[in-house]
Amino acid sequence: MNTIVTLVDYSDVTAKLIEQTERYAKALGSQVILVHVVSRDPMALVNEPASQIPSEEQRRELLAADFKHLSSLADLLTAVGVNVEVRQLVDADIGKALAESEHWNAELIIVGSHHHGVLYNWFVGSVTSDVIKAASGPVLVVPATPAK
C-alpha cells in the first residue's frame, strides 16, 4: 500500500497539514503515518518558556499528553475514512523521522513551512530545509499562510 508520512509539530500550520494530508491520502489511496518528533531537549514539551526543567515523572506525563494530542489528530483523519497510524519518536531528530519514512517506503513526506526570521533559522535551523536536503523522495511543504 502507498504511504504518506506527515511530520506534525502542533503549530498553527497543523490544521492545514491535516487538511492537505487528507487530500493527498485520498487522491493517492495511501495510508498515513503521523509522526511527531520529540527532541532530547528536556524542555521540548514545555510550553511556558520560564518553566523549570521537568522531573522524570513530569516528562512522562508530558509525553503521554503529547501522544494523546497526536492520536486526536489521527482521529480527525480516521473520521474521514483515511487509514492512519501514529508514531511518537522520543529523543529523536529529523534523521530518525526520515528513517521512519524510509522504513515505510513513503512515496510522499508532508511538512509545514514556518516563516521564521533569518536569526531563528541561523541558530535553530529549519526543520523544513533539513527534511528537503535529506529526503530521497518528494516533499510537500504546506505554508502557514492561507491558501487562495
The contact set with other proteins (CB under 8 A) reads 20, 24, 27-28, 105, 107, 113, 115, 128-129, 132-133, 135-143, 145-148
Instruction: Name the DSSP letter for residue 33.
Output: E
Closest distance between other proteins and the C-beta of residue 7, in Å?
14
The DSSP symbol for 145 reads S
| Residue closer to other proteins (CB basis): 78 or 105 | 105
The beta-carbon contacts of 63-69 under 8 Å, at least 24 apart in sequence, are 63/38, 63/88, 63/90, 66/36, 66/38, 69/10
Q: Which is nearer to other proteins, 40 or 148 (CB)?
A: 148
| Nearest residue (CB) to other proteins, 9 versus 107 | 107
